[in-house]
Amino acid sequence: MSRPLESADLLARLVQAAAHFPLEQNEIDDLVARGTGPLLSRLSQLARDSKDTAFVWLLMVVVTTQFPAADEFRRTHRQLRAARPGLEHRAFLEAAVRNPGGLLMGPVEMTIVTDAVIADVDFCARHTHNTGIQRVVRQTMARWTRDHEVIPVAWTSSNESMRRLEPVELARVVQYGIPFDGVVAAPRLSLVVPFNCTVLVLEVPSYGLCDPLESIAEYSGNKVGLLGYDAIPVVSADTVPDPETDRFVKYLSVVKHSHRVAGISAAATGEFAGFVSAIAAQGLTGPETISIPLPVDIPDHEITPPTGADGKPLVLVVGSQEPRKNHRAILHAATILWREGIDFRLRFIGGGSVWFTRQFDKEIAQLSKAGHSVEVLRGISDSTLLDSYQRASFTVFPSLHEGYGLPVAESLALGVPVITSNYGSTAEIAADGGCIVIDPRSDEQLTDAMRRLLTEPELGVSLRKEISERPTRTWDNYADELWAGLVVPLEASRG
């Protein structure tokens, strides 16, 4: 446990903050010479008198070492405005008494960062999990940290404040899949306070992060940009667990105060634009929404052609096992085709919540026991995934609701035809060729499409030709377009 907080610690932080207040350097020097109390008092008065809430937000963070929730911010702001002259500073000290979490850990290193681009990548930094959102964040950040000045940040363990990444965390974000050869040392807490910055929230934040992020978006003066993946937890709430919907609804409070949202497909952008229309009823304008579709590419990985005989044609299904992915319809179609005497292997790749996978696995076990060639692979490496794509005759992705549909894009990037849904983001990807689109709610259409691809070789050849003629769009293209479409306008808007 470190030593307790001392007056000099607070003074050092206030001096950092003072540089951003409308004060001459000689006045700051004079206040510093007079002590922590006089400097805090003067900054509190300036924060009260300013029309810009950013000064109040900054002073709250500096005093409490905690990013305030929006409610706490409003309470402190009102207390500050109502304070008797000369006692304004008490609003900040009392805010810290109400929220002592950060202070109890003793003094911490804190840097106020200005005029910078800060990317919140908390989940990817802490975890090795790597499906849809994490793939987008890692592919993008690997390029942005190479081509631009961007500071990746995570949050302290109690979601109190932003902090710099440890080297192992940075490697997890920008060098995923490459073994980390640095030293994994005990974490050294180094807080990052954005002031007049562009703050990018590239993931869907955890429930506990939504309060401080909402406050950053609404009060801190920073410009906040988001990646809009989808609104599935609300629009298709019937297909996801309740906590996911709760979390997403909480996240919408961040969205409504943010400044720009880049949807990963036209369909996803439409969902966020719909929400922005809805909040007019709340008297809010909401963020600008733009569409920057994800690429049709594979994750950074060396491609090696598969070796060994394959035997039966492989039908591949990539994606988490959950009701929205419509995997039971695929099992139904496969069962009918096997009964018709069409021989093929069916492989599912993807994990999922045990609440869904338990029953699904039972059905797979029954089919397998009946002599059908069907399997589920979970927790596999990217190389195994890419190998499976290359071995597949075609892939099937009849999802009921997607933000994009990375497995469709990855399949096409490897030249493998796809059966996918005829609306939303998957239809957008399919529009450039190489796919058979179907109504995912029609078992007949799905069964018929699978039957045709298994029994009409010329159809597969024709789809593969279409794929070869598709325009290319890579992760490099996406990262560049996202920077130009999301970051540059936010940078320009903060002057």
Partner 1 sequence: MGTQHEQDLSTLQKERDALLERDVDTWLDWVKTEAHGYRQFENSLSWRLTKPVRWGGDFIRKARSEGVGVATGAAISRVTSRITKR
Residues at the interface with partner 1 (CB under 8 A): 1, 4-7, 10, 34-38, 40-41, 86, 89-90, 93, 96-97, 100, 103-106, 126-129, 184-187, 207, 241, 243-244, 247, 351-354, 378-379
Nearer to partner 1, 205 or 286 (CB): 205
Specify the residue, 64 or 139, whose C-beta has the smaller distance to partner 1: 64
Q: How far is the CB of 219 from partner 1 (least distance, A)?
A: 23
* Residue type, position 94, single letter: E
Residue 236 or 373: the one with the smaller Cβ distance to partner 1 is 236
Strand ranges for 350-440 from DSSP E:
374-377, 392-397, 418-421, 435-438
User: Closest approach of Cβ 321 to partner 1, in Å?
Assistant: 10
Closer of 38 and 415 to partner 1 (Cβ)? 38
Least distance between partner 1 and beta carbon 65 (Å): 11
Phi and psi at residue 192, to the nearest 5°: -120, 125
Phi-psi region of 424 (alpha: psi -120 to 50; beta: other; left: phi over 0): left
Q: Copy the structure tokens of residue 161.
A: 């404040």
Name which of 127 and 312 has its Cβ closer to partner 1.
127
Shortest reach from residue 104's CB to partner 1, in Å: 4
Shortest separation between residue 124's beta carbon and partner 1, angstroms: 12
Q: Which is nearer to partner 1, 11 or 459 (CB)?
A: 11
For residues 1 and 281, which CB has a smaller minimum distance to partner 1 in the complex?
1
Shortest reach from residue 158's CB to partner 1, in Å: 12
CB of 233 to partner 1, least distance (A): 11
| In the complex, minimum distance from the CB of residue 130 to partner 1, in angstroms, rounded to a whole number | 11
Are 349 and 388 in contact by the 8 Å Cβ rule? The answer is yes
Q: Which is nearer to partner 1, 36 or 421 (CB)?
A: 36
Cβ burial, residue 341 (10 Å; 0-12/13-18/19+): exposed
CA-to-CA dists, residue 297 to 78, 249, 293, 386, 412, angstroms: 51, 31, 12, 12, 8
Half-sphere exposure of 215 (CA within 13 A, CB side): 25
- For residue 309, what are the CA distances in angstroms to 238, 306, 313, 343, 349? 42, 9, 11, 16, 20
**Distance of closest approach, residue 263 Cβ to partner 1, in angstroms:** 23
Look at residues 111, 110, 109, 105 and name the one whose alpha carbon lies nearest to residue 4. Answer: 105
**Residues 410, 295 contacting (CB under 8 angstroms):** no
- Give the C-alpha separation, 154 to 165, whole Å: 6
Q: How many residues does the chain have?
A: 495
Residue 140 Cβ vs partner 1, minimum distance, rounded to whole Å: 21
- Distance from the Cα of residue 322 to its chain's centroid: 20
Token look-up 């304008």 returns: 285
For the chain, what is the total number of helices (H) and then of strands (E)? 22, 15
For partner 1, give the closer residue by CB, 187 or 489: 187
In the complex, minimum distance from the CB of residue 441 to partner 1, in angstroms, rounded to a whole number = 26
Instruction: Return the number of other C-beta atoms located less than 10 Å from residue 3's C-beta.
Output: 8
Any idea what the Cα angle at residue 308 is, between residues 303 and 314, rounded to 5°? 80
Q: Which residue, 64 or 196, is less far from partner 1 as judged by CB?
A: 64
Based on CB atoms, which residue is closest to partner 1, 131 or 442? 131
* Exposed/middle/buried for residue 74 (C-beta within 10 Å: 0-12, 13-18, 19+): middle
